Amino acid sequence: MRNADSKRNIAFLGTSLPRECGIATFTQDLLDQLKHIQGFNKPRIIAINNNETYYYQDQVMREIDQHKLSDYLDAADDLNLSNVDLLVIQHEFGIYGGESGVYLLPFVEKLRIPYIVVYHTVLTKPSAKQRLIMNRLAERSVKVITMAQSTVKDLISIYGIDSTKVAFIHHGVPDVQTESRAKLKEQYGFGNRKICSTFGFLSPGKGIEYSIEAMRGVVKHHPDALYIIFGKTHPVVKQETGEVYRQKLMDLVKEFGLNGNVLFVDKLLTQEEVIQSLVMSDIYLTPYLSKDQAVSGTLAYGIGYGRVVVSTPYRYAEEMLAEGRGLLANFRDAASLEACILQLLDNPSQIHEMEKLTHELGKTMMWSEIAKSYAAIFKDNITNSELTNRSVI
């Protein structure tokens, strides 16, 4: 029988750094914090690979070829014979094999250790296959976690998931110490300019073309305004269409005569650079095109660092910007974005008040706090599973 004082072993299934993927970053941030929480050994990862070769650190205990079903089944066998107490499945349809990632189902059907699912996407209009996968994963799990309060009811009503299994935990935000906004602007050569920014992988769904068009009107009133677009093109988008989207955006900047007011930083930012980009920004923009987006890691970071946000009203933005924490513009509407940006730049006191409101929520979203919520769920469900499986003599 396991010693009650012994440390627990947690494994994660999903993508892993250095693969350029938001879920890989999310997993790493959570792992880094769990190392500091008593009761756990150093967590490990089962890494899902696409067609690239990655040089992983020793925390990766095993790799799975996304498109090879036998790898999933072999991994389940290995887990059943391992000392892993609990598996955490990071779920996103696109990173697993088969239609909508259906290869996960035979994997969990073969699994004999308890697992938790973290849903990174919750669609309001899933296909029959997507609904089936989400439901079956939850059915065999001991707990499911979602990162938006608005999706809790969807998991229950749309996906038929037992309400007692569903938990809500905010998307975590890394705690990085930086200089002040004024010092960072000076350090990067932006002086007293008013900075709007967006960061993350570039892809057509981000709607950045509407923010660029909005800047055409903004600079008429605030010639010193600068919109900085941080981030490289999404690896999948680049593989499929190259730099077509980025070139389209750059052509718009030239067409609108905004070369001095729009800046592209074409690189994958380090964690420190991401936070510096946010801290020196006066307004953070997420002009995304999809109403259905339930979670946005980049918006979570913006909230975490108390930025005033102008966004389109996708689901996560509506939830996070409620109670005066930001402004919502219409989808695919440059004039609406322009009006929101001007409202803020014309009223510095409004920015100041919004930042205070946003910071109040943001400080609860630091990974150091969020990891404690995950750790509590891990411990409870390991204990409950052991009690359930204990033999009665």
Q: Quick one: pLDDT at residue 148?
A: 95
Question: Per-residue pLDDT averaged across 156-166, rounded?
Answer: 97
pLDDT of residue 204: 92
The DSSP result for 209-237, as a single string, is HHHHHHHHHHHHH-TT-EEEEE-PBPHHH
The pLDDT of residue 6? 81
Dihedral sign of CA atoms 262, 268, 270, 271 in order: positive
- Domain match, 157 and 276 both: no
pLDDT of residue 80: 97
What pLDDT score does 392 carry?
A: 36
Residue 354 and residue 374 in one domain: no
Residue 162 makes CB contacts below 8 A (sequence gap 6+) with 138, 156
The answer to whether residue 281 sits within a structural domain is yes
Q: Residue 84 is encoded by which pair of tokens?
A: 């892993």
Which amino acid is residue 253, in one-letter code?
Answer: V
Express each pLDDT in 283-341 by its tens digit.
Answer: 999 999 999 888 999 999 999 999 999 999 999 999 999 999 999 999 999 999 999 99
- For residues 138 and 286, membership in a common domain is answered with no
User: Do 199 and 333 have their domain in common?
Assistant: yes
Enclosing domain of residue 36 = 10-172+366-389
Are residues 194 and 147 located together in one domain of the fold? no
More confident residue, 191 or 169: 169
Taking only the tens place, the pLDDT of each residue in 113-150 is 999 999 999 999 999 999 999 999 999 999 999 999 99
Burial of 145 (0-12, 13-18, 19+ CB in 10 A): buried
Report how many domains make up the chain.
2
Do 73 and 217 lie in one domain? The reply is: no
- Judged by average pLDDT, the poorest of 200-204, 308-312, 324-328, 383-387 is 383-387
Asked whether the predicted pLDDT for residue 66 surpasses 80, the reply is yes
Q: What is the mean pLDDT of residues 159-171?
A: 97
Q: Is residue 152 part of a domain?
A: yes
C-alpha angle 333-239-134 in degrees, rounded to nearest 5: 70
Does residue 4 form part of some domain? no
For residue 1, what pLDDT is reported? 42
Do 272 and 186 belong together in one domain?
Answer: yes
270-290 per-position pLDDT tens digit: 999 999 999 999 999 999 999
**What's the pLDDT score for residue 5?**
53
Same domain, 57 and 85: yes
SS3 content of the chain, % helix, strand, coil (to 5): 45, 15, 35
- Torsion sign over Cα 141, 145, 151, 156: positive
Banded model confidence at residue 389, pLDDT cuts 50, 70, 90: low
Q: What's the CATH code of the domain at 360?
A: 3.40.50.2000
What integer pLDDT is reported at residue 108 of this predicted model? Answer: 98
